[in-house]
Amino acid sequence: MPYRILVTYRPPGDALTRLADLGEIDLWDGEEAIPRAELLARVTTADALYSMLTDRIDDELLDAAPKLLVVSNMAVGYDNVDVAACTARSIPVGHTPDVLTDTVADTAIGLMIAAARRFGEGIDYVRQDKWKKWEPELLWGNDVHNATLGIVGFGRIGVAIAQRAAGFSMRVIATSRRRSSRAEVLGVTQVDFPELLARSDHVVIAVPLTQETHHMFDENAFSAMKPTATLVNISRGATVDTDALVKALQDGQLGAAGLDVTDPEPLPGDHPLLALPNAFVIPHLGSSTARTRHAMANFAVDNIAAAFEGRALRATVNPGVGPRRVDS
């Protein structure tokens, strides 16, 4: 019997062709993300799950998937996966680190500049035909160069953001739970979270979404930040309490926000955040370049190929787990 691979969205490039070489494909090709009931029904016969960040992989799903040998998430973040539940069933979980780091770091810098320099308002101004003359005081923003950048989560992407910030002569401070050997080399000062909030002119969130980081940016965090500060989120939407963010942006507690990720996601077109001039929101484009998305798609295929061959995955979040023994 060939392996069956449940693919929850159409991946770019030749990933699907490569998957077809590994087994029989069951592709969800709907306009919206695969509905939960459909996912639960289709996973019953799957040997591999090629998943995306909106697919919740939990006990319920795993109980419905007696044959599942591997979960391969086409993302570096894996907050959609209950890793302990997979480990308990000897199912390795693959993800796609490194290949997207630089692209996401570019996005963070872009959002920081766009939000701090009010590009969203500028675009609206032009589109609304308000641009009638050059005005010396039109849409003043806040400088990025020579400012203090606070990076929350100094891992692969956080480090890549710090490297870019050096080119803008920024002072960079960062926070993560452990000391980073890269910090000293890059001239980055590691500080605790309250100090980072108090000192930063611009803050970028680059932590994974965990129980600890859920709503890390709440009312208290916003009241500890400079009222002119820019908040950039390229992590996951739920690291920020969206209601508190709307209020902080409305009340002038925070200067501006540049968001690649939101909670909820997708953000409905009539969401209050989108009515705020100082919120610059893009639809989770962090890793969205052809080269990077192809690399991620192929990485996720490599993880499935390795699992089928009984090898260690190219990148796994539960090393040493598997192969699962399945009664035929």
204-to-86, 158, 235 alpha-carbon distances in Å: 31, 8, 9
Question: What 3-state DSSP class applies to 190?
Answer: strand
CA 97 to chain centre: 11
| Span from 55-63, 140-148, 163-171, 234-242 in contact with ligand NAP (CB under 6 A) | 234-242
Q: In the set 18, 56, 67, 156, which binds ligand NAP (CB under 6 A)?
A: 156
Question: What 3-state DSSP class applies to 161?
Answer: helix
Q: In the set 23, 94, 110, 153, which binds ligand NAP (CB under 6 A)?
A: 153
The pattern of x and - marking residues 299 through 328 that bind ligand NAP according to CB under 6 A reads: ------------------------------
The catalytic residue among 265, 271, 294, 324 is 265
> Nearest distance from residue 270's CB to ligand NAP, in Å?
23
Peptide bond into 323 cis (omega under 30): yes
> Nearest distance from residue 188's CB to ligand NAP, in Å?
12
Interface size with ligand NAP, residues (CB under 6 A): 31
| DSSP line for 197-266 | HHH-SEEEE-PPP-TTTTT-BSHHHHHHS-TT-EEEE-S-GGGB-HHHHHHHHHHTSSSEEEESS-SSSS
The pattern of x and - marking residues 9 through 48 that bind ligand NAP according to CB under 6 A reads: ----------------------------------------
Q: For this structure, is 309 an active site residue?
A: no
Residue closer to ligand NAP by CB (options 42, 199) is: 199
- Map the footprint of ligand NAP across residues 162-191, applying CB under 6 A: 175-178
- 237 near ligand NAP, rule: CB under 6 A: no
The DSSP element (H or E) to which 84 belongs, if any, is helix 83-88
Burial class (CB in 10 A: 0-12, 13-18, 19+), 184: exposed
Q: In the set 62, 206, 221, 254, which binds ligand NAP (CB under 6 A)?
A: 206
Q: For this structure, is 127 an active site residue?
A: no
- Map the footprint of ligand NAP across residues 87-116, applying CB under 6 A: 97, 100-101, 104
- 212 near ligand NAP, rule: CB under 6 A: yes
Tell me phi and psi for residue 240, to 5 degrees: -115, 135
Whether the CB-CB separation of 85 and 58 falls below 8 Å is answered with yes
State how far the Cα of 101 lies from the Cα of 123, in Å rounded to an integer: 28
CA 164 to chain centre: 19
> Nearest distance from residue 146's CB to ligand NAP, in Å?
26
| Span from 44-52, 120-128, 251-259, 279-287 in contact with ligand NAP (CB under 6 A) | 279-287
Residue closer to ligand NAP by CB (options 41, 166) is: 166
* Cα maximum dimension of the chain: 75
Helices vs strands, H then E, count in the chain = 12, 12
Burial class (CB in 10 A: 0-12, 13-18, 19+), 179: exposed
Q: For this structure, is 284 an active site residue?
A: yes
> Nearest distance from residue 13's CB to ligand NAP, in Å?
18
Site residues (vs ligand NAP, CB under 6 A) = 76-77, 97, 100-101, 104, 153-158, 175-178, 206-210, 212-213, 234-236, 260-261, 284, 286-287
Would you name the residues annotated as active-site residues? Answer: 236, 265, 284
